[in-house]
Structure 1
Amino acid sequence: MFFKLIALFLFLTGTGLSAYAKHPEQNPMVFGKNRLSIITPTLLRLEYAVDGKFIDAPTLFAYDRASMLSPESIDVKELGDNCYEIKTPSLRIWYKNDGFPFSTSNLNVFYTHNGKEKKFTNRFITKNNLGGPVETLDRVTAEIPMNDGILSKDGWYMIDDARGDLLVNDWIEPRDTKNHIQDQYCFIYGNDFKAALASLGAISGKVPMTRKYIHGVWYCRYWDYTSDEFLDIIDGYDKNDFPIDNIVFDMGWHTNDAKVGTGHNGHLNWNGYTWNRELIPDPADLVKKLHEKGVTVSLNDHPHDGIRPHEHNYDEFAKALGVNPGEVPLFDLSDKNYMEKFFRYAHKPSEDIGVDFWWLDWQQHL
């Protein structure tokens, strides 16, 4: 009799058992052509696929697909009329399953910011972003505009990854942008900036701890130094009891006799991989002596012109790549075969004699 009364009450009040919050069976949650993934309590992924086929492969941005908030940490309540209330430990989401891509008309996310409840919708305008990385400080003499970063005084930021290349079998593959038309990552963290950075690590992969020497003193100058001059520089630091951890060889380390290439900024010779033996007769010996002094060695790299006929090992490179002698294949970051041969013949010879890492000079828009 008791259960009959409960059923009658629910019927008369228009309330069904589905109105009570419950954990979803799985996360991500699929609503027809829409998929909502709750990656962390403050990070949502919004997808819309015309053919209903969603993307689980990593992308250049979303490298780590392993993180996903446990369904036990999510509450879902059916509100009727295809509307849902979804709660995480930090967010309250209202969603109407209307069959259209996620938008301001079918998705609202409520979060706490400065002690008040605020509403987020998946738009691209953020007014109070705190800024992100700057490509270069070349020729900077005053205040400059900043690119966006994840952190914002608005308490949220969104990244559109709808055209981001996939990573399949450890290489780049274009995605289907005709059917998979929406792929947005909504960082909604309020005042909790640490949560925002943790969410970034959850989807892009945790940042490994850098080597201690990376945080030390670096020396680099756009100058054609000889081996003896490089060693004198380190001795000068030692004599003045000043630390030195890294020395960067700028463009003088390689030859400058290229005759062909696309050139950058009017220069054919910023790019090079053949040691300049007039300045540095024995590169391996120089690197060894610098290591003995406790200094790591980095080489300047402008890879935009790849490996050209003037390089000492061009013939081997061309044969391995399968191109005609004298042909200059364009540098192609998207070509796995080209890049494997490039690293083998451009970088590995110097790494084999002890070069620690490469300084990728920013000016080449690869």
Structure 2
Amino acid sequence: MNSSTSSSERGPSQAGATGWSGPWRRFAVIFMVSATGGLVGVLALLFLIDPFDSGRSPISRAPGIAAPDAENATTSRLENASRGRDPAFQAAIIGNSRIQALEPARLRQATGIPFVSLVVQASRSREQLAVLDWFMQSRTTPPRAIIIGLDMPWCDARVSASPTDPFPFWLYDRSPVAYIDGLFRYSVLADYLPRYLGYLMGLRDRARADGYWDYEPVYAALGYDTPERRQALLGPDTEIEINLTGRFGAAEALAERLAYVPPETTVILVRPPVYVTGLGAPGSDMARTDAACRAAHEAVAAGRPNTYLIDWRVDRPETRNRDAFIDHSHYRKGLARLMEADIAAILNKTRPPDS
């Protein structure tokens, strides 16, 4: 006697145990299609609006991005994508806060060249190379000048990024896939998209176009100007980076990048000043690192035509003036004006006759 039961004889409860019934299956399919369509729609909207004004949107609009919410706040990591593509500027200042005191408007007044500051606070060589790449790929004609601040991270044995201040490499990446992947995050939808839409609708001010902001009031508000704090800040520097490997990978990477910069572009490498106690004692590991690194930076300048090195990281009367510094590596406007004069002298000397 055959006791087996054919599939046609199974009851409703047995059929339901082997899979989803029709209504539930349709609901799941509709939900998945709707969710996928919604995500694709949101990404398409973000790509069209381009909340960081990177110029990737097919909708053409003049460069510009919303100002940050708080006074003296900076979002240069994000704003500089817009500034770096702005054709109004023919020259750029690239580096971190140790070159930040250079003022684009003053350099323009002294040279006639429109400058933009693409400084990213706390950045190191990897972030600054990304900014340099972005500025160059956004040019339709060779820039007139590029200024790069070479502080101690440019003495590293390898290219390095800040360990504490994440940088949006996706925003400066050539790959549209990397860019779209970077857009897909909650902070873009909740913060940057409304901020940019407010700017486009005239409800928010534009961030300063040339990228300059003065850090002296910020440090003053933090109490850096008190005698006790200044005494502590300008004492012997205990946060010294040592590199005795004989290899300066960051400088080597910079030389490789500069090889692709058109020869008519004047490149000025600036070793920014530090207070004398930040130079290291003669014969110390710091002094040996600094001397070898200086030679590496000189080689970068010598390896490309129309490239100059301005070295303020030396013991000179100005770097012994306590009143010229906030801490070991952040200096006041007086020193910045002297550096700007050095830069302007080079640019005016190399200016084409018909410019």
TM range, smaller chain: under 0.3
